[in-house]
Chain A
């Protein structure tokens, strides 16, 4: 399909772009989750809250790494 002359837009390209946008959205959501977890821990402070904070940060790091890989690929 050639909407722009010289550029072929394939189904893979469209899906790939949507996947990249979705990854960025998940990255933003993971950032929100970090903030929300710290707020939750402030309201209901349990000893295991620190471990949960590490888990949420680990998820954010994984998401960041994956997003960078996918976006730059």
Chain B
């Protein structure tokens, strides 16, 4: 069917959004808040959709598994302190050590992949929360900016205050329950994002602009 009319994209980013992106966020590909990521595409991205911000959990949230790996790395040096391991012959002990380090590598790699690919995407049209749980489960929550009703953020704990990260909770008008819905409403949460105040401002600004467009 021939195209009768195709509306051109007339809505550009406002100066406020440009200012927020320019001044508030910096980051490399491994950062927790990357403004306008280059050469980035996600699965359901439309051709005329612009990615404004790519976020993930703050790097500090990885300290737990990094510390566990560092601790586990030195344990084989003390194999001799375990009585039941003294009973093993040399070959078996070497095999056990190789298994131990392979397990550590597997755990570290999996933890890194989970951190790296669990992202939050803010485009000029919608919000997307991509969650990979384990190696075989994935959840993608999408909310149109026009359906965003409320945006809040929380920041609690010593590390969160020191490194400035927190949870951004987006309340939408959708009736569909999402896995992290709370209080009977439909919401999804950007967990442990850096600069939660700036992210909240940005989403609020974007929703205001979308409302103005539709009036």
- List the interface of chain A (C-beta within 8 A of B): 11-12, 15-16, 19-20, 22-23, 26, 29-30, 32-33, 36-37, 39-48, 52, 55-56, 59, 62-63, 66, 69-70, 73
A55: chain B residues within 8 A (beta carbon) = 109
B59 at the interface (CB under 8 A from A): no
Cβ–Cβ contact A43 & B106, under 8 A: no
Interchain residue pairs with CB less than 8 A apart (26): A11-B84, A11-B87, A12-B88, A16-B92, A19-B96, A20-B95, A22-B99, A29-B106, A32-B135, A33-B113, A36-B132, A36-B136, A40-B132, A43-B42, A43-B117, A43-B140, A44-B40, A44-B43, A46-B29, A46-B39, A47-B29, A55-B109, A59-B106, A62-B105, A73-B91, A73-B95
Does B37 belong to the interface (CB within 8 Å)?
yes
Known contacts A40-B113, A55-B109, A59-B109: A70-B95 contact under CB 8 Å: yes
Cβ–Cβ < 8 Å partners of A40 in chain B: 113, 117, 132, 138
Interface range, B side: 35 or more
* Top 6 closest pairs, chain A to chain B, by CB: A40-B117, A16-B92, A45-B41, A43-B43, A36-B135, A19-B95
Q: Residue of B at shortest CB range from A73?
A: B91
Residue contact A19 to B135, C-beta cutoff 8 Å: no
The interface residues of chain A lying within 8 Å CB-to-CB of B89 are 12
Cβ contact within 8 Å between A52 and B113: yes
**Contact between A33 and B88, CB atoms less than 8 A apart:** no
Interface contact B96-A66, CB-CB below 8 Å: no
Please give, as numbers and ranges, the residues of chain A lying within 8 Å of B41 by CB-CB distance: 45
Contact residues, B94-108 vs A (CB, 8 A)? 95-96, 98-99, 102-103, 105-106
Q: Which residues of B contact A66 (CB under 8 A)?
A: 98, 102
Considering the complex, which residues of chain B in the window 106-145 have a beta carbon less than 8 Å from any beta carbon of chain A? 106, 109-110, 113, 116-117, 119, 130, 132, 135-136, 138, 140
Which residue from chain A places its CB closest to the CB of B121 in the assembled complex? A44
With the chains together, A40 CA to B110 CA distance in Å?
12
Quick check: B130 and A43 within 8 Å, CB to CB?
A: yes
Q: Which residue of B lies closest to A47 (CB)?
A: B39
| Distance, CA A62 to CA B99, complexed state (A) | 12
Which residues of chain A are within 8 angstroms of B84 by Cβ–Cβ distance?
A: 11
